[in-house]
Structure 1
Amino acid sequence: MKPISNSQGAARSGAPFASGPLNRRSLLTLAAAAPLLAAAGCAPGASANGLRPDGALRVATYITPGYTDLYPGIERFNESLTAELGADIVDFFDSGALLNAEQLVPGMLRGVTDVGFQTSSYVSASFPILGAAELPFVNDGFEQMRRALAPESPLMNLMNDTLRPQGITNIGAMPCTEQWLFTVDRPVAEPGDLRGLRIRTAGHVEGEMVKSLGGAPVSMSSAELYEALERGTIDGMVSYLGTIVSRGLEDVVKYATRAHFGAYSVDAYANTAWLDDTAPDIQTALHSAGAVYAQEGTDIQYQVYEDDYLPMVEDSSLEIIALDEKQIDTFRDATSGVVDWWIKTVGDTELAEQALAYVKEA
């Protein structure tokens, strides 16, 4: 299936579910009210079978087609829904046309979209259980994280048991390859090398990791990175390779330290109340599409990493610093406090330790 264009999507949504644009204040209010919305069984705008009054199932993401590793997985999700439910059901908005990264989950709770594809690091501050899969140096990397986040895995079931009462359900996860550390002027081969550097992070777990190494985390959108790195506003960033290549940053950063400094996933979330109220065939189609996304989407993402992104970075002027086991152990020790900090943010030691065990044992 070809994605519905933004203009077509807008035309389908003739009766908007929000009375006006979502400003920052209303979004923050919505985010804070997530448990209340969930408790109220809020699934605004749904018809008897769970579809919208115009017969559509709305899907939204801020991810653009420029992310050639991530975007095809979302297309597979939409294609699976179309195969199960029929043509002209999926009303798809990409590139932040409906909701940007900050707006997506609050907007979904408000009923602006039914399914939203969101990077876990953007929302793990509000839903800290997600941080279990974002911690630095806690397992052997991508393949192990993929097993941990597979559909119906112990970790996914535990996460959803925690997320559902808060209003959202994860119906499919695509783990990204591990995050490297990129810098402009100074190579990082040991923990002390990061001291005093301003490092862009995309989430609070990454930020805590940077602080544990003596750096200063800086939050900014990926669209701002090229100019910020070029002008020296920031000294580096924590990122997976997709962001580097998609934004052309291999021409700006000079050093890349290759290690598991963190990780995140791009997940398909649904409003729990809406999902529970949909007809059984729609629920089945959504979970089937989520499984396709997790399997085929992740396969594609890793293939793009292996065939395109990694060779492109290796052939660039970037100096890649590969750490040996002793160096990795040094970084693991230096960032061990991040795990303790995360356990406290979860607020339930037993729950956090069980999630962490699932990540380590996958």
Structure 2
Amino acid sequence: MKLGRSFLLATLAAFIITLYAFPAMAASSWRLSNQLPPSHFISKGMDFFAEKVSEYSNGEMKVEVFHSAQLFKDTEIVEAIQEGLVELALVPVNKWSGMVPAADIFEMPFVFKDLSSPKKFIEAGAGEILDNEFQAKGAKVVFWVDYGLVQFYNNKRPLAKPADFDGLKIRTFSKGTADTVKALGGIPAVMSSSEMYMALQRGTVDGATTGMPAAVSRKIYEVQKYMTLANYTTAQFFVQGNFEWWDSLSDKEKEVLLKAGADAAESIRGSIADSEDKAYNVIKEGGVEIYALNDEERAAFVKATESVRSEFMQQTGEISHKLMEILESID
């Protein structure tokens, strides 16, 4: 009888120890959807984020990155995050423009002065304002991902003045970039980045607007004759999580993800200038004729796109005014 009772108590004790130890031993594993190819500097930043999550959690947390739209295309990713079909994803900010119109601030032509401007803008209060809007729609910003500046490409002629856009069908990636192309006299065609190469190769569109690193990683320079170095806007991204999933995490898990995200954001920012320089050289050596706008030509582009900025302010109300005030306050 005593032996049986001792055995029972020992078994119960072992069970209790196992029960309480299990959460510490079980690794949490989550997926991150990324539509960019592995060679892109942002994709490398996603891998860096995953490495830091593992490091800061001592291997108890794991993020598995799926590149090249293996899980979702950029046109599908917002719904996937909202519905909890994936825990984390690299999301182009412009994909929220229909539900959060103020997100189009990043697509406004000629509002960011240089590569450092997006970080200053986000840290000056814009990041918090926008994140509150996204949380109300079911998504949480884990960290912001700067991309670099955006250029124009086409197969017809150098684009030195707005009139040169007349009649050209240009691939765009958002409402803001589409409005810009239209204001310049072109015909915008919004399509996924994964569909861009084939459309250009087949002549479905005459040109495209994208960043130089993407033009290299997507091999756009192989099927285009001209690039206009305009630096007219930026294509901002962020890594977002499904809000219900985020809310279910422990404080420690959130802390690890935010810390790893901050490191990844800085790593990516540190790669932008080098990535742009290397991409420029690849594009040039690939035979693309590069035309750089001078100050007078750039001023003509700014004037031609004033309607895009004005319409944005009218349609997005108080939030856009706050965001524009922040833009005007940064150096």
Equivalent pairs, count: 306
C-alpha separation in 2, matches of 1:249 and 1:234: 12
Task: Name structure 2 gaps, 5 residues minimum.
Answer: 1-22
Q: 1:116 to 1:223 in 2, by over 3 A?
A: closer
CA RMSD in angstroms, aligned pairs only? 2.2
Q: CA deviation at 1:179?
A: 0.7
Q: Could you tell which deviates more after superposition, 327-336 or 157-166?
A: 157-166
The answer to whether the aligner puts 1:261 opposite 2:232 as a matched pair is yes
> What amino acid is aligned across from residue 189 of structure 1 in structure 2?
A
Q: Which of 111, 117, 131 does residue 144 from structure 1 map onto?
A: 117
Is the contact between residue 199 and residue 236 of structure 1 (CA under 8 Å) also seen in structure 2? yes
Question: 8 Å contact 2:43–2:67 — kept in the other structure?
Answer: no
Matched, 1:310 2:283: no
Name the structure 1 match of 2:77: 104
Deviation at 1:272, TM superposition (A): 2.4
For the 8 Å contact 1:133–1:263, the answer to whether it is kept is yes
Counterpart code for 1:357: E
Structure 1 residue 314 displacement after superposition: 2.7
Letter in 2 for 1:126: M
CA distance in 2 between counterparts of 1:131 and 1:361 reads: 19
| Cα offset, 1:220, TM superposition | 2.5
Deviations 1:133-182 (A, max 9, x none): 22111131322123223xx4311111112222122122211221211111
Matches within 5 A, 1:113-124: 113-124=86-97
- 1:187 and 2:158 correspond: yes
TM-score by length of 2: 0.86
Structure number with greater Rg is 2
**Kindly, what percent of the aligned residue pairs are identical?**
23
**CA 1:242–1:275: 2 relative to 1, 3 Å:** same
> In the alignment, which of 171, 193, 203 is matched to residue 142 of structure 2?
171
Unaligned stretches of 5+ residues in structure 1? 1-49
Q: Quote the residue 2:62 is aligned against.
A: 90
- Name the CA distance, whole Å, in 2 between partners of 1:156 and 1:110: 23
Matched, 1:60 2:33: yes
CA distance in 2, matches of 1:95, 1:62: 5
SS in 2 for 1:196: coil
Secondary structure of the corresponding residue to residue 268 of structure 1: strand
Q: Which residue of 1 aligns with 2:293?
A: 323
In structure 1, the residue matched to 2:45 is: 73
Question: Which residue pairs with 1:45 in the alignment?
Answer: none
- What is the rounded CA distance, in whole Å, between the counterparts of 2:323 and 2:78 in structure 1? 22
| Structure-2 separation of matches of 1:286 and 1:345 | 35
Alignment of 1:219-298 (within 5 A): 219-298=190-269
Distance 1:226 1:273 in 2: 36
Give CA-to-partner distance per residue, 1:78-107, whole Å, 9 cap, x none: 112111223263241332222222222211
Cα distance per residue 1:41-60 (max 9 Å; x no partner): xxxxxxxxx99x97323322
* Aligned partners of 2:82 and 2:137 also within 8 Å: no
Please tell me the residue identity of whatever aligns with 2:51. E
2:113 partner SS? coil
Partner residue in 2 for 1:214: 185
User: Aligned equivalents of 1:176 and 1:360: distance in 2?
Assistant: 21
Once superposed, which parts of structure 1, at least 4 consecutive aligned residues long, lie more than 3 Å away? none
Letter in 2 for 1:134: E
For 1:99 and 1:200, the matched residues in 2 are separated by 20
Distance 1:253 1:167 in 2: 39
Say if 2:322 is the partner of 1:354. yes
Are 1:301 and 2:272 counterparts?
Answer: yes
